[in-house]
Structure 1
């Protein structure tokens, strides 16, 4: 039902009016509700009403919510899936890896198409594939695990179709602080959708006793140092969030087993309490973090030109010790672990809206969708496409030291997840490097944009 409603809502977004430059056959959107400035794509004609602009953002936010709910529903019922298929940790992590890889390889294709053709049609086509494959994955039999892997790979089509396009549409609809606010609303639904994915998946699986019901650039860009460094920072952030988002409920469940607070899960459905708590924390900290990051950015941006990447650097560098402490405390105190997870997630969520805004103002408008696609490909290729599998593989490699003890099941996953805070520190360094070049690159983008306005 939600997928069908998404398609209907998307159909209400009016097609764009286009201006064509025959010299390079590039089409420019006409969606703005405000007067052109140095940050708007060329000249705009026939602007849509402000009401329709807000409706368009609401639809895109709704899609973002559904996507991230779908992405992490699997993580919320992972223990039940492991029991059902009899798969080890490394194979479990593969479910997320194939999804991210599909999304990663399709993103550049949708980015290329989004810069040249009707974005509404592209998104609807991707969403249709997403709806069909998500539904199909819920009917996989116990003997056909590979079918589940294949359907999870195809689900990446939906995210690839809109993630590369939606932020650029918002960038065309609004400018200045209003655009920053709209981008903030859009990215709030990443942590909200992720958290609700855990909660909804665990609730449905627990109520039905069946986990399956939970599933029913070119020129300019590569020479832009801010874009390159920020993309590396986003990659590190994707690695950390992808690994922690996928493994935290299972990790905390094993921690409670080793503390003697609950018995090991031998039959499905497994205890969903950790999915509930972690999902709720993700929702709350995501909302607080995104709004706080946006507020700090607005307060500092005029006085400090490189405020945005510095906020991202501080967010990454300060969240890493929190996650490290949370991981270490899991063996002795679950409440303390949740406390530091909440602090770390809040600090990490400072970055979501700011990251999108950085790309929008250091890349010229006609290359934004392509830049978005390239950033998505890089950050998922080196980030959350492999991090869940890598953590699972390290955990499985440590299994040889003790194959019987539930305590060692916890410890080997603990040692594996400790890789995340290290990558987080590296991400903070990347964002600090971004801060060194962003003022110059933003000015260059504005000059290029102004020159193209004159030519038009």
Structure 2
């Protein structure tokens, strides 16, 4: 194992080609912890069926959705804080502390209901007719899941900027693709491990077991060397803020305030459109991650133990293929051109709409399981090219903050909404409500009262179409085909 001292990594002689061996070691460590991050996050959906059937908990679909959204909301609230800290202080130390926090909170989820002393929640919004009803147990579990989100927020916000300083622009999409591959891998392993542990040892032990590796690997993150910020980038051209308003160069003021930096990031064309497109995509992925295992069990007739394992295997293969494939194609076809990155995201998202609809409508496992595989593969193709756009649209000194603001937007308006929306819609459809959506389901051959979760998931293809159109808009209008950090 390479010596993990606090020594600063030197920039390679040829930033476009040379990559130090230590960078590869650091990428392995960071990717491993990111995988554990998503394993811990995904255990809840994998054991949701057991928790709903637990007589002590008495949870509803909506309350499962609230628990998932609590994690995402805390994730987004703290992301800007950690983003700014990551731009100013040693990143590895912050990330290691974050891993300890989310691992501890994951273990606590398994016993949190024994400390449910808080009052429940019951309020309704006048005129709208929509309300929030949560038991004391659900409120306590939401708070614990929010603590998981705080830890994950620090890690996910800061890590991409660290990887960007380990790898030069021409290798960056591949490195980010490897790192992002931990998302589908962790997603799938979370389903498999959580489902197996819950089936044999109960849902409580599932949370406790998966928390242990995160505590161990946090030590290796703590020991990572801190690379010099921008060490692998070409020097950025200088320009006044007035001349560069709305572009990535506008963000390079040395002592820029947090508010000014955030404002300039939001004015950045490529950052804004790529974030908007990925927000719609995150809406879909959040709904999928939380509800598809229950969807396979309730509406497709799979067993309680086989549904999460089957989904985990599909996600493992499809997610890895899509993420690695997306990074490989992006590096060889796009070659640093933002328009090509945007177009790759648009095409892959548009092509995933058909398989997603087939998966929802079909009743034969020989049809809907391959359809899920194809849809997931195409959706995860977006990971590497999207993050390449995100990171090369801003200069090195504000990359962590740009990622943090991206996290705030995609989760606040993406999966923080979809995870709860699907659960609430499912309960409403079960009670005979949401007639317009029920009518659409009838037209597609879906029984909305019996297949209420399938009906609620029909919002996913609509969000996918919106995402594809936003990425296409970015491809047609970007002005940064030659990113500022790459020599022309």
Query: In 1, are the aligned partners of 2:164 and 2:172 still within 8 Å (CA)?
Result: yes
Say if 1:379 and 1:14 are closer, same or farther in 2 by CA, change over 3 A. Answer: farther
- Residue 46 of structure 2 aligns with which residue? 76
Alpha-carbon distance between aligned partners in 2 of 1:65 and 1:381, rounded to the nearest angstrom: 23
Query: In 1, are the aligned partners of 2:40 and 2:103 still within 8 Å (CA)?
Result: no
Query: In 2, are the aligned partners of 1:294 and 1:353 still within 8 Å (CA)?
Result: yes
- Residues 1:416 and 2:456 aligned together: yes
CA RMSD in angstroms, aligned pairs only: 2.5
Consecutive unaligned residues of structure 2, counting only runs of 5 or more, are: 117-136, 209-260, 434-446
- Residue 138 of structure 2 aligns with which residue? 145
| Aligned with residue 69 of structure 2, among 97, 102, 108 | 97
| Aligned with residue 147 of structure 2, among 146, 149, 154 | 154
Alpha-carbon distance between aligned partners in 2 of 1:215 and 1:34, rounded to the nearest angstrom: 46
Alpha-carbon distance between aligned partners in 1 of 2:485 and 2:337, rounded to the nearest angstrom: 18
Say if 1:13 and 1:99 are closer, same or farther in 2 by CA, change over 3 A. Answer: farther
Alpha-carbon distance between aligned partners in 1 of 2:466 and 2:15, rounded to the nearest angstrom: 38
Query: In 2, are the aligned partners of 1:13 and 1:56 still within 8 Å (CA)?
Result: no
- Residue 27 of structure 1 aligns with which residue? none
Alpha-carbon distance between aligned partners in 2 of 1:114 and 1:274, rounded to the nearest angstrom: 39
**Structure 2 matches for 1:285-324, cutoff 5 A?**
285-302=318-335, 306-324=339-357
| Aligned with residue 280 of structure 1, among 279, 293, 313 | 313
TM-score where L is the length of structure 2: 0.77
Alpha-carbon distance between aligned partners in 2 of 1:171 and 1:304, rounded to the nearest angstrom: 17
Query: In 2, are the aligned partners of 1:102 and 1:157 still within 8 Å (CA)?
Result: yes
| Aligned with residue 198 of structure 1, among 180, 191, 196 | 191
Specify the SS of the correspondent of 2:181. Answer: helix
Deviation of the 1:290 alpha carbon: 1.5
Deviation of the 1:127 alpha carbon: 1.7
Consecutive unaligned residues of structure 1, counting only runs of 5 or more, are: 1-8, 18-29, 41-46, 263-270, 451-456
Query: In 2, are the aligned partners of 1:232 and 1:430 still within 8 Å (CA)?
Result: yes
Alpha-carbon distance between aligned partners in 1 of 2:71 and 2:400, rounded to the nearest angstrom: 21
Query: In 2, are the aligned partners of 1:100 and 1:153 still within 8 Å (CA)?
Result: yes
- Residue 384 of structure 1 aligns with which residue? 415
| Aligned with residue 130 of structure 1, among 86, 90, 102 | 102
- Residues 1:115 and 2:87 aligned together: yes
Query: In 2, are the aligned partners of 1:315 and 1:348 still within 8 Å (CA)?
Result: yes
- Residues 1:371 and 2:407 aligned together: no
Deviation of the 1:12 alpha carbon: 7.1
Alpha-carbon distance between aligned partners in 1 of 2:86 and 2:27, rounded to the nearest angstrom: 17
Say if 1:68 and 1:444 are closer, same or farther in 2 by CA, change over 3 A. Answer: closer
Cα offsets for 1:106-136 (capped at 9, x unmatched): 1111000000111112112212221221121
Cα offsets for 1:57-110 (capped at 9, x unmatched): 111101110011111111111110111121211111111100111111111110
Say if 1:305 and 1:104 are closer, same or farther in 2 by CA, change over 3 A. Answer: closer
Greater Cα offset, 195-204 or 149-158: 149-158
Query: In 2, are the aligned partners of 1:111 and 1:370 still within 8 Å (CA)?
Result: yes
Cα offsets for 1:410-453 (capped at 9, x unmatched): 42111110000100100011111111233x23547349x99xxx
- Residues 1:184 and 2:163 aligned together: no
- Residue 441 of structure 1 aligns with which residue? 480
Alpha-carbon distance between aligned partners in 1 of 2:457 and 2:97, rounded to the nearest angstrom: 37
- Residues 1:213 and 2:205 aligned together: yes
Give the number of aligned pairs. Answer: 400
Alpha-carbon distance between aligned partners in 2 of 1:372 and 1:14, rounded to the nearest angstrom: 27
Specify the SS of the correspondent of 1:290. Answer: helix
- Residue 356 of structure 1 aligns with which residue? 387
Say if 1:167 and 1:205 are closer, same or farther in 2 by CA, change over 3 A. Answer: same
Alpha-carbon distance between aligned partners in 1 of 2:428 and 2:266, rounded to the nearest angstrom: 38
Alpha-carbon distance between aligned partners in 1 of 2:305 and 2:323, rounded to the nearest angstrom: 27
- Residue 424 of structure 2 aligns with which residue? 393
Greater Cα offset, 105-114 or 86-95: 86-95
Specify the SS of the correspondent of 1:401. Answer: coil
- Residues 1:223 and 2:267 aligned together: yes
Cα offsets for 1:239-272 (capped at 9, x unmatched): 0001011100101111234xxx76xxxxxxxx21
- Residue 240 of structure 1 aligns with which residue? 284
Alpha-carbon distance between aligned partners in 1 of 2:336 and 2:142, rounded to the nearest angstrom: 49
- Residue 428 of structure 1 aligns with which residue? 468
TM-score where L is the length of structure 1: 0.82
Alpha-carbon distance between aligned partners in 2 of 1:135 and 1:212, rounded to the nearest angstrom: 9
Alpha-carbon distance between aligned partners in 1 of 2:20 and 2:483, rounded to the nearest angstrom: 30
- Residues 1:56 and 2:29 aligned together: no
Query: In 1, are the aligned partners of 2:337 and 2:483 still within 8 Å (CA)?
Result: no
